[in-house]
Structure 1
Amino acid sequence: MKGIVNAVLLFFVVATSLAQTGSIQGTIVDNSNEPLPGVAIKLVGSNKGTQTDIDGKFDLTNLNAGKHQIIISYIGFKTKTVAVTAPSTNNTFVIYEGNELLQEVQVSSRNNKFSRKHTAYVSKLPLRDIENAQVYSTVTSELLDSQIVTNIDDALNNATGISKLWEATGRAPGEGTGYFSTRGFATQPKLVDGMPGFTLSAVDPSYIERIEVIKGPSATLFGSTDTSLGGLINVVTKKPYEGFGGSVSYTAGSFGTHRVSADINTPLAKSGGPYFRVNASYLTQDSFQDAGFRKTFFIAPSLSYRVNNRLNFSVGFEYARTKQTNPSMLFLRRGAPLISTNMDELNLDTTKSFTSNDLYLTSPTFNTRTIVDYKISDEWTSQTVFASSYAEAKGYYQYNIDGGALAIFGLQPLTTSPLAPIVNPYINPMLMEAGGLLGTEAFTRVIDKQNANATNYNLQQNFIGDFKIGDLRNRMVFGLDFVNRSQHSRNQSGNPVLTTTSNFPTLLGALTANGQAAIAQQLQAQYRAFPYFDAFINAQGNVINSSFTPGATYQPSTANLENVFSSVPVRDIRTNSKTFAVYVSDVLNITKELTVKVGLRLDYFDQQGDLSHTDDDYTKTTFSPNFGAVYQAIPNKLSVFANYQNGFMNVDPVINPSSPEPTTTFQPIKANQFEGGIKTNFFQGKLNFGASYYHIIVNDKTANDPTGVLLPRRIDLKEVVSKGVEFELNANPFDGLNIRGSYSYNDTRVTDAYSQIKKREVTELLDRRPEESGPQNLYNFWADYKFQEGSFLENVGIGAGFNGASSHKTINNSVSGVFTLPSYTVFNTGVYYDAKDFRVGLKVNNLTDKTYFTGWSTINTQAPRAFLGTLTYKF
């Protein structure tokens, strides 16, 4: 009897042991039976999960015998839930491409943490980088964490071939983000999850999953409303995921930096969703100079709900409110020769801001996106996207321009007129004083009062297919796009003070007394229309005594400005434009190794412009084709690609109220790019390397007239050519070490300077590098090593790197001359302790305290050495 009992007990022990050691094994493939590496598999109702290897295989072990449900998720593919009985082997699961939905298990299990080369946004199709003829650079959230990045401007230092031109200022609704140069042309970060968004400088890094810099003109898929000639910047946000988790972080450091952020994800039901995520932050930071500050509140709730295997929808909102002074940007003179040609000659005091904390702008923004995906069949998915953006800019915007005294020389024609005997005693002393100011760098502080808002609506309907015609696989997107843009400005710009200073009152009085009241009134109106300026300041930050700015002080006050602008009329302007578009793009597998992509877009642009005028109304229909080919010389590891891309930008007419020609009209700017290169994905994704050569031809490019004095005047140039090379490396050589590096060289030239507007060759710009092109050479590098489990320094990590640029001609024309900003290399380093529940980090930016500058016809001093510390609690 005792033996029988022991046998029964042994049977139950063995059965229980076997029940606990069952497994589910299988392969994940797409609908062309291609294995998919890195796919996340998670067991429903537990924390168990794994991911597929390079051959698409997985093994989910230590399961109870019986029925289970697993969730299969992969970026760019529809999440799939399937029922499986354990133990089982040789399972094959097919997943289909669709909208991107991030699952947390993917992020934590990815080895090459600085590489995210699978996206559903760049081509509006979920393509792996190695099969995509389009070139793009990504900056991942792990890289942002490693560098303790607190703003998007610093994040973009890691992108290939990107250089900053202008600081983020909030100077106008939707225009307050920084300006960057890529492939020789200016661009701004204006896309969120592939859709237009406003004032992205306020987006907190805790909300960023990655940043995608899409290279070259991309009008075929993105149109003219938010495109550029050299590339687009798309911010991919963090999405809700299954389960509960998140983090709370506090960062503090130099220049009064304090930042609190939170990222919380939670299910709203016991199982099956919906899933809710909220990111929020508050940042306050002072300038590294003698005045200036920035305060930003940001919150972004989002919701995702997979109703069933066919229907999925997501909703996202972003609200930000930024209050900030205008970062110091010194505009160099135009229309007259420069005094200094480099920073040594200028002898600038880089600690001076040329402003005060009383001059600031408040810029609230509100963005929304709603995405509905419906799986029509295994081959076709419908995607409906609605996005809206609202932004405001209120307050005082100031900038400093050298050569502001040129305004006084508007009086010079009177000195040789029949009125000379009357006016010369009053005008000549003023011209002498203005000439003295022009003999040195005298930065004129110009101030406007902003009060404007803008609203965008964007509706897209995409049909995304993955189907075969015979043996040929097609991945196609067919889309309809509608964009409505409106802006209402009630800005104030004028100078009611100037004609009350210096000899102006006696000059106007003499003209009136001699029967020339009409000329006196004309002069008064002319100078009242000039922007208000309150001081001339030299490069060392000292106020220059001048009869044109009596009582000038280094730090202006809001009280004085309110008194001045109470006499400046409000210029009330409403504008509107609409775009209707249809596009199609098809990726065709000629063979397993050879892929061809063709696309075409038709845009109809309806510009109503200033609603109080009809002179700037016009319509324009434009076609934008593209073509690409990829050959995988080593399947899934090495590909050779080539592409042709087309882009265009509509240019608004300029209304000239006092000119014989009431309106100046421009042709759309047209760009054509030819590019070729290689992409690699070696060692199971641990080594990604890309290299490319591009050649861009731009026709009818708008530029600033180099002969224009002070205020910019737009002209067109027949041809600008940009060509260059780019290299990018992302590697994970061994466990714990992640490396990212890039180098780019760009040569942009004005090759044909004929201007249709001016009816002449603008020789002042011919064969010169445009100022918006930035430095010719750009490079960056970052390495992060985290000691592995079981080592003496387990959980400790260190990071170090640098970014730099060659010298840059921020002014480059034969009228003003050339002003060169010096080359620079900035070193950064950091150390952190990253445990399961918390992370502590310390970062040093600009380790060697390098003084360096960026600019676009400006001098923008960059921050000196700074220390940042961060503490994050994870749950």
Structure 2
Amino acid sequence: MKLFVKILCLTFFMSTATWAQQAASIIGTVSTTDNKQASSISVVLKGTKIGTVTNDVGAYEIKNLKPGNYTLRVSSVGYASKEKNITIVSNEVITENFVLIATSEQLDEIVIEGAKTNHFAKKENVQISRLPLKNIENPQVYTTISAELLKDQVVTNFDDALKNAPGVQPLWASTGRGSDGGAYFSLRGFAVQPRALNGLPAISNGSLDPANVDRIEVIKGPSGTLFGSSIVSYGGLINITTKTPYDHFGGEVNYTAGSYGLNRVTADVNTPLNEDKTVTFRINTAYHTENSFQDAGFRKSLFVAPSLSYKASDRLSFLFNTEFLSSESTNAMQLFLTRSAPLRVHNMDELGYDNKRSYTSNNLSIKTPSFNLQGQMFYKIKDNWTSQTAVSRTSAKSEGYYSYLFEGTTSFPDITEGVVFGRYINYQNSTTLAIDIQQNFIGDFKIGKMRNRIVAGVDYFNRQIIDNGTGYVVNGMVYIGDDSLQTVNEKVFGITNPAQYITTGDSGKLSQEATDALLATAAVNNSKQKQEVYSAYVSDVINFLPNLSAMASLRVDRFMNAQNGAYNQTALSPKFGVVYQPILDKVSLFANYMNGFTNVAPGEDINGTTRTPRVFDPEHADQLEFGTKLNLFSDKLYATFSYYDIKVTDRVYNIRNSATDVTYYQDGAQENKGFEAEIIANPIAGLNIVAGYSYVDSGTTKGDLNTIGLRPTSAGAYNSANLWASYRFPEGDLKGFGLGFGGNYVGENKITNSIVTGAFTLPEYTVINSSIFYGNEKFNLTLKIDNIANVDTYDGWSTIHPRNMRAASASFSYKF
């Protein structure tokens, strides 16, 4: 509440100080009848030389106008021009919105590369704030990764795409296991999965395919106010915006081949389905096969994503998006370190792990088919009010073998070096189903002289998890270290005959037959969980002046869970922000307060044979953030610099002294604070640069005495940085040729960190990548090398997972 008062005071002071300096202005938006924002539309005052063009979200502004009568004209090739007579008085801000109607002479789309030189900058998207809000006037920080950047880097998997976002670090590779088998990332020091598709919930238990990605938005900070708790973390959320149909025939096919058996074929085809182009269809598809750099491991998948757009009338339109992914892979190798006893080793040098060893078999794979179906209806109620109705249905299944290596508590006192792991394996048979229904009303209107952009909506989310998999069994032990072969066989595997020594350090039987025989004795799960969330939210951006705005938002959630005994909870999530632009549309200063929350599943206190159910209140995270955003030199330089402080309260944790002595508490607290910087630049013709830096300081401030004052394992490294620079010769004999260069730096990372265990630290690393390419308007050929120096790299979250070594690839694409 104190923060809100401060923001209001700041807003009043700025508005009082600057009101007298403002001349009259005209602002507004231009859209098409199919409810799309119209960019690069000419907006002029007839009979004068005064005018502008709309930006990427269809917004425009004409400022510093003298009082008088004018005719405002909006026009573009392929659309019927519109005019409005307006009268301007001193210090007035007039809002005029337009909806353009396509003419019968509408031309096929012509893309002029020179018109947009900063190819990696694709900032604007209504899904981020559920409003047509420009980046520079949004008090929230976000990073956008464009499809153009992914093509430039020859990205063939979704995880590599996120290397371009400051503050995002890989924690945990995709496991394929039920309900949460997708990859985990650290975002502002909190674990998050990519679970949003076009702003709606989407679920996957395996690796995602980037073939249908138009852009990826990494939306920073607790975002419970607009997105609830089902798809976000306290650090933010990762949203995927998919490709949509357009109004002429076209497409692209691509083939990529590379190291470790990489073969990938993609196709993107778009076509109108009728003469007046009111029905358009687009399909993106990919077939992918790839082996591991290790001694075993593979991934193969087939991805199909058809989408359909239908313009029923000038006011009513529909958009349907679907994605089907069939995927099969082996588990990524992961070493789970002990969480309840002192560590025997504390870094990779002491462990002595050979990263070429996978400790798995291509005979033991897991299938993770998934689909996402989305339908959206847009209805233009009037020029300044739009209704958006959205329905999504998602399904993710896991079926097959899931295993991991775990450092148990069994003592081997005669083993002087290294660690003994047990291989735990089960058969996954799990299905997660979810449905989401949303209704939003989006308005753009004035109250007095103040412009209001508002979204008010309701949301219903339902998720069911059905688990019929088996319990875990132990399939052998694995020794990693430098003790003698005789000692390991005698003291770990219990083998005294040298003729029977195990030379691989692995006593497991990794055939399907042997594994199935072990699993035949395991119990079979028969569980079904159901969660429902009813939500209502409202967010209003008020322009007190053209260069001064404030955002106020609130969400109420009613959460109902049928797991571990039914319980219901209600959570409130507020959000406030203020933006001041000392140089309009070029420089902004912003501050925000944001809230996120988590509905915690019930637990049980255990005291001997007595079990006492526990129900917990929602956890909450509160963020304070301030910084600046820049958009300079005619869109050639985008930059964001921000400092944030996130405090989590009411955290749930338990003290486990034994299997029969467990007590839960809800007084834990954590604080994450840090600095982020992002630059997207086009300093000279042909040169495009993306760069970022992140510093995250994280610590447990209250709760389990075993971790107070220590860095949580989900926080990742303190420091990380990313860079990609691409130069294409714009003219001359080398026109079309280009070079790309960049990489990532990640500092030391404590993946296990407590008073009981001590700390295990993964080493810092710097990975350098480079490419050379040639192309024109029809085709493009790219040769790329990743991890040029062949550096050993690892990520983890109480686990150790080796990442890819040096790899080369060649990519050829043809446009039609």
Q: Which of 774, 780, 788 lines up with 1:847 in the alignment?
A: 788
Q: 1:302-451, aligned counterparts within 5 Å?
A: 302-403=307-408, 405=410, 434-436=412-414, 440-451=418-429
Instruction: Label 1:575 to 1:744 Cα distance change in 2 as closer, same or farther (>3 A).
Output: same
Query: What is the TM-score normalised by the length of structure 2?
Result: 0.85
- 1:471-482 aligned within 5 A: 471-482=449-460
Q: Counterpart of 1:681 in 2: which secondary structure?
A: strand
Q: Is the 8 A contact 2:619 2:649 kept in 1?
A: yes
In 2, the alpha carbon distance for the partners of 1:57 and 1:350 equals 66
Write the distance in 2 (CA, Å) between the matches of 1:209 and 1:853: 29
1:651 equivalent in alignment to 2:600: yes
SS at match of 2:432: strand
Q: Which residue of 2 aligns with 1:185?
A: 190
For residues 438 and 667 of structure 1, what CA distance do their matches in structure 2 show? 47
**CA separation of 1:107/1:656 partners in 2, compared to 1, >3 Å: closer, same or farther?**
farther
* CA RMSD after TM alignment: 3.1
Question: Partner letter of residue 818 of structure 1?
Answer: A
Distance 2:519 2:655 in 1: 30
Deviation at 1:273, TM superposition (A): 2.4
- Describe the shift of the 1:540–1:251 C-alpha distance in structure 2 as closer, same or farther (beyond 3 A): farther
| Deviation, structure 1 residue 73 | 9.6
For residue 847 of structure 1, what is the amino acid of its counterpart?
A: I
Deviations 1:696-735 (A, max 9, x none): 10012346868779x9998655210011110000011122
Question: CA distance change for structure 1 residues 592 and 326 in 2, over 3 Å: closer, same or farther?
Answer: same
Match of 1:696 among 642, 646, 656: 646
By how many angstroms is 1:96 displaced? 6.0
C-alpha separation in 2, matches of 1:740 and 1:859: 29
Output the CA distance in 2 between the equivalents of 1:260 and 1:770.
41
Aligned to 1:483: 461
For residues 304 and 260 of structure 1, what CA distance do their matches in structure 2 show?
A: 25
**Within the alignment, does 1:625 sit opposite 2:574 as a pair?**
yes
- Greater helix fraction, Structure 1 or Structure 2: 1
| Counterparts of residues 41-80 of structure 1 (less than 5 Å) | 51=40, 74-75=56-57
The 1:608–1:437 alpha-carbon spacing in structure 2 relative to 1, beyond 3 Å, is farther
Distance 1:132-1:706 versus aligned 2 partners, 3 A rule: farther
Within the candidate set 769, 772, 781, 1:831 is matched to 772
User: In the alignment, is the contact (CA less than 8 A) between 2:725 and 2:741 conserved in 1?
Assistant: yes
| Structure ID, larger Rg | 1
2:80 aligned with 1:83: yes
529, 547, 550: which one aligns with 1:575? 529
SS in 1 for 2:222: coil
Counterpart Cα distance in 1 of 2:390 and 2:414: 59
Distance 1:800 1:778 in 2: 18
Letter paired with 1:454? T
Matched, 1:33 2:26: yes
Cα distance in 2 for residues equivalent to 1:35 and 1:636: 14
Alignment of 1:510-659 (within 5 A): 531-539=473-481, 546=492, 553=507, 556-609=510-563, 615-654=564-603, 659=609
Distance in 1 between residues matched to 2:693 and 2:658, nearest whole Å: 36
Shift in CA distance, 742/820, structure 1 to aligned 2, threshold 3 Å: same
Corresponding residue number in structure 1 for 2:145 = 139
Query: 1:437: how far off?
Result: 6.1
Structure-1 separation of matches of 2:288 and 2:658: 40
Correspondence for 1:95:
98
- Aligned residue for 1:171, secondary structure, equals coil
CA contact (8 A) 1:321 1:363 kept: yes
Aligned-partner Cα distance in 2 for 1:713–1:440: 34
Contact 1:334/1:706 (<8 A) preserved: no
Corresponding pairs, count: 735
Deviation at 1:537, TM superposition (A): 2.9
Q: Give the counterpart letter for 2:723 in structure 1.
A: F
Among residues 734, 738, 746, which one is paired with 1:805 in the alignment? 746
CA distance in structure 1 between the partners assigned to 2:416 and 2:763 by the alignment: 24
The superposition leaves residues 575-604 of structure 1 with CA deviations (integer Å, 9 ceiling, x where unpaired) of: 101000000000000111100000000100
Rounded Cα–Cα distance in structure 2 between residues aligned with 1:539 and 1:293: 26
5+ residue gaps, structure 1: 1-30, 43-48, 59-70, 86-91, 98-102, 407-433, 495-530, 610-614, 754-761
Q: Which amino acid aligns with 1:691?
A: F
Q: Contact 2:605 / 2:613 at 8 angstroms: preserved in 1?
A: yes
After superposition, the Cα gap between the structure-2 partners of 1:540 and 1:804, relative to the gap in structure 1 and judged at 3 Å, is farther
Distance 1:273 1:705, change over 3 A: farther
Unaligned runs of 5+ in 2: 1-23, 47-52, 61-74, 83-94, 101-107
Does 2:231 correspond to 1:226?
yes
Are the aligned partners of 2:418 and 2:479 in contact in 1 as well (CA < 8 Å)?
no
- When residues 186 and 797 of structure 1 are mapped into structure 2, their CA distance, relative to the original with a 3 A threshold, is same
Could you tell me the TM-score, scaled by structure 1's length? 0.79
Q: What residue is the counterpart of 1:783 in the other structure?
A: 725
Counterpart of 1:252 in 2: which secondary structure? strand
**CA separation in 2, counterparts of 1:438 and 1:579?**
53
- For residues 632 and 713 of structure 1, the distance between their equivalents in structure 2, rounded to whole angstroms, comes to 52
Corresponding position of 1:162: 168
Deviations 1:14-63 (A, max 9, x none): xxxxxxxxxxxxxxxxx983377xx9999xxxxxx99358x8899xxxxx
Question: Per the alignment, in what secondary structure is the counterpart of residue 126 of structure 1?
Answer: coil
Show the counterpart of 1:462: 440
Match of 1:66 in 2: none
Whole-angstrom CA distance in 2 between matches of 1:829 and 1:713: 53
Change beyond 3 A, Cα 1:797–1:95 = farther
One-letter identity of the residue aligned with 2:40: Q
Partner residue of 2:762 out of 800, 821, 824 = 821
Instruction: Specify the SS of the correspondent of 2:370.
Output: strand
Q: In structure 2, what residue type is equivalent to 1:265?
A: N
How far the C-alpha of 1:201 sits from its partner, in A, is 5.4
CA distance in 2, matches of 1:670, 1:129: 27
Q: Deviations over 1:399-453 (max 9, x none)?
A: 01122536xxxxxxxxxxxxxxxxxxxxxxxxxxx54469740121110111010
Question: Residues 202 and 296 of structure 1 are in contact (CA less than 8 Å); yes or no, is this contact kept in structure 2?
Answer: no
Equivalent residue for 1:114?
A: 120
Check whether the contact 1:355–1:554 (CA below 8 A) recurs between aligned residues.
Answer: no
The SS at the match of 1:51 is: coil
Report the CA distance between 1:815 and its aligned residue: 0.6
Question: Matched residues in 1 for 2:55 and 2:637: separation?
Answer: 23
Q: Measured at CA, do residues 856 and 57 of structure 1 come closer, stay the same or move farther in structure 2, by a change above 3 Å?
A: farther
Seen in structure 2, the aligned counterparts of structure 1 residues 781 and 547 have a Cα distance that, compared at 3 Å, is: closer
Q: For residue 769 of structure 1, what is the aligned residue in structure 2?
A: 711
* 1:206 Cα offset (Å): 2.5
Cα distance in 1, alignment partners of residues 45 and 284 from structure 2:
35
SS of structure 2 residue aligned to 1:221: helix
Contact 1:35 1:56 survives alignment (8 Å): no
